[in-house]
């Protein structure tokens, strides 16, 4: 039994949710997401639990939705694509997510990965999502409130993979030291309106990168001096 199914009292809309998730998975397949483990994870996560109640009817649309504080819950296709890229070399044991937001991406990761660390800078969102992970039974997700002077969670690394869910104007090389040897990082980089997903690979002291899809993310809140 999956974590979400243990809590039937949590807000939901029954079989409509299951049918809506099934339609979403078929749409993701039609858009080229072929990794069945990613599709299965997406199918298990109840996205309507991660949006405001007023948005419940749109929870399974393949679109980003507002969650307050100038932030959004990512489009399901982008969540699936970034998850696929993160596990392309094999499923890592521990992952750092930067930008918890609604918690939806973290929940998808938690369906696949043993240990998920996720960090959020906006305290009301952090408080909300921490409660949500508990209510939904995600015991393998550790949510932390970000420090103002540090990007990531250096005290908990190094990590086998890092996923950044906000747009960095330039590649955040300060995260390299939090990558274990052999790790990969998926991060949207570029000015607003000109962002692309970049995958960074670490091989010893060498870092290589490849530029992929055009994307659109809210800005990464960089660490303050």
In the residue annotation, 208 being an active-site residue is answered as: no
Q: pLDDT tens digits for 39-87?
A: 999 999 999 999 988 888 899 999 999 999 989 999 999 999 999 999 9
Q: pLDDT tens digits for 131-189?
A: 999 999 999 999 999 988 889 999 998 999 999 998 889 999 999 999 999 999 999 99
pLDDT at 194: 86
| Confidence label for 12 from pLDDT (cuts 50, 70 and 90) | low
Q: Which residues touch 186 (CB under 8 Å, ≥6 apart)?
A: 82, 85, 86, 161, 162, 163, 164, 197, 198, 199, 200
Q: pLDDT tens digits for 101-111?
A: 999 999 999 99
Of 20, 37, 74, 192, the catalytic one is: 74
pLDDT at 191: 84
Sketch out the chain's domains with CATH numbers: 67-215 (3.40.50.150)
pTM for the full predicted model: 0.89
């Amino acid at each position: 039994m999956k974590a979400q199914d243990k809590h039937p009292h949590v807000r939901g809309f029954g079989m409509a949710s299951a049918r809506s998730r099934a339609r979403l998975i078929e749409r993701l397949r039609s858009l080229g997401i072929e990794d069945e483990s990613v599709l299965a994870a997406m199918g298990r996560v109840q996205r309507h639990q991660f949006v405001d109640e007023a948005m419940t009817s749109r929870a399974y649309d393949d679109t980003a939705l507002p969650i307050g504080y100038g932030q959004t819950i990512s489009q399901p296709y982008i969540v699936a694509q970034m998850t696929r890229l993160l596990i392309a070399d094999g499923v890592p044991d521990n992952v750092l997510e930067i930008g918890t937001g609604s918690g939806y991406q973290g929940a998808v990761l938690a369906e696949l990965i043993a240990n998920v660390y996720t960090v959020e800078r906006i305290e009301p969102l952090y408080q909300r999502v921490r409660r949500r992970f508990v209510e939904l039974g995600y015991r393998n997700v550790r949510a932390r409130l970000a420090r103002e002077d540090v990007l990531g969670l250096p005290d908990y690394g190094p990590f086998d993979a890092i996923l950044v869910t906000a747009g960095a104007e330039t590649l955040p090389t300060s995260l390299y030291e939090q990558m274990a040897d052999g790790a990969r990082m998926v991060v949207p980089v570029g000015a607003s309106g000109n962002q692309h997903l970049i995958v960074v690979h670490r091989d010893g002291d060498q870092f290589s990168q490849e530029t992929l899809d055009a994307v659109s993310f809210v800005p990464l809140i960089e660490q303050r001096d």
